[in-house]
Amino acid sequence: MKVLLDSNIIISAFATRGICCDIFEICLSEHQIILSEFMLKEIKRSLERKIKIPSKLSNEIVKFLSEEAKIVKPVKIQGKPCRDPDDIKILATAIAGEVDVIVTGDEDLLILKKFKKIPILSPKEFWKFLKKKKK
């Protein structure tokens, strides 16, 4: 399955132990993670500013993500499907990567529930979704 893990999920995965970390590990081993250069820059910036990770370590994390995820170029999206322009780039990345699901903690995206038939799930919803698929 192709999964777009929003930047906030990946940042949480590296910052703390918990559901985001577990989801990240499962997606690394069992699914294909889809990201874009825009997302990698956002992850690097947030790791350094919000989590206070040194630049050298954030560079290593971005390098790791670049090697383990499929990096796609976001498509152009007409109109304004959501309020935040940065979130439009997330949706554009999802379309370009032909993802099966978007996992995010961003309320501006979660409120959409779906974008062009792609479900948008919270970490908890995605966890339940994965559990159902294994049965």
pLDDT tens for the chain, 135 residues long, are 999 999 999 999 999 889 999 999 999 999 999 999 999 999 999 999 999 999 999 999 999 999 999 999 999 987 777 777 788 999 999 999 999 999 999 999 999 999 999 999 999 999 999 988 766
Residue 53 CA to residue 74 CA, distance in Å, equals 27
The predicted structure's pLDDT at residue 83: 74
Q: Residue 64 contacts by C-beta under 8 Å, 6 or more apart in sequence?
A: none
Residue 50 CA to residue 43 CA, distance in Å, equals 10
**Domains of the chain, each with CATH number or no CATH:** 2-134 (3.40.50.1010)
pTM for the structure as a whole: 0.93
Give me the sign of the Cα torsion angle 64, 92, 98, 114: positive
